[in-house]
Every structure is written in structure tokens, then in C-alpha cells.
Amino acid sequence: MRILGIDPALTVTGYGVIDATANKVVLVEAGVIKTSCRQPMHLRLEKIHQAVSSLISDTKPEIMVLEKLYAHYRHPTTAFFLGQARGVICLACAQQGVMLVEYAATRVKKAITGRGLASKYQIQRMVSKTFSLNALPRYNDVTDALALAIAHSSIARAYR
């Protein structure tokens, strides 16, 4: 099964594509989609939408995985901006007929490390170990996206 994990954000959106079989996961592609805070909002959202649409067309995932939206009451504006980025990503997914699944961050962390409250560093280490990477990915966003994809493969495997 080909899985696309996306860690949405307005400035740096991370993505990771994996192929998952019954007993292993293989890294296909990973990277980031960057926008500039100097650009108007509508152009930033358009860039994210186009990049995700192209990514879906190029990699042909069977499923896309996003983290469920969590918003702290002290930062409502952050949640609003994140929601816009998630919206254009979900739109690209729907337009191309890709199934969408969402998981809470704690569920992803538990699937990756065995602890629902694992640190960013622990997630990075486990993702790097899973793919035998020589170095940690430069962006946490990439690690988080790959963690989403790996978690889904693990969770889906448990329900088969």
C-alpha cells in the first residue's frame, strides 16, 4: 500500500511517501513545500494546493494521512491558519479521489515509539531508524509526515 503522510503548515508543509507491505516499510519520497510569509495568503494556499496535487499525481498514493487538528485556546489564530492549509490539502486529496485518514498526535506517537507522549526527538530517531537514515531529516515537518505514514501502516496492519 502506498501511503502519503502530510504535516500541514502555512510556511513549511512536510510530506513523506512510503510503500508498506505486511512486514516492512520503504521510503519512496520525502520533502517540504515552502511558502514565503511575504506572499499574500491566497498565493501561499494556491502553492500548497498545487504542490500537493502534483505530489499525488506523481506518487499515486492509495491513502493520505493527516494529523487531527489540535488547537490551544491561547493560540486561535494559529489554528485558523493551519486550518486553511489543511483545507487546501484536503481539497487536493478529494479532487484526486484519494482516501483520507486522520489520527491524533498521541496515537501517532504511540504507534511509532510505544509512548503517546514521546518527544519530537524520539519520533525523529524512530523514523530515522525505520528507514536506516544516516542523519536525522533537516525538518521536523518531514519526520512528522513520515511518522504519520508509518503509524497508519502499523495501525492498518493491526486491523487486518
d(CA 4, CA 134): 22
Would you call 67 a catalytic residue per the annotation? yes
Catalytic residue check, 141: yes
Residue 75 phi, psi dihedral angles, 5° rounding? -130, 60
Q: Could you confirm whether 58 is annotated as catalytic?
A: no
Q: Which residue spans within 25-128 are E strands per DSSP?
A: 25-34, 63-67, 99-103
Task: Catalytic residue, from 46, 58, 62, 141: name it.
Answer: 141
Strand locations in 35-94 (E)? 63-67
Phi-psi region of 61 (alpha: psi -120 to 50; beta: other; left: phi over 0): beta
The CA distance from 106 to 136, in Å, is 21
**Would you name the residues annotated as active-site residues?**
7, 67, 141
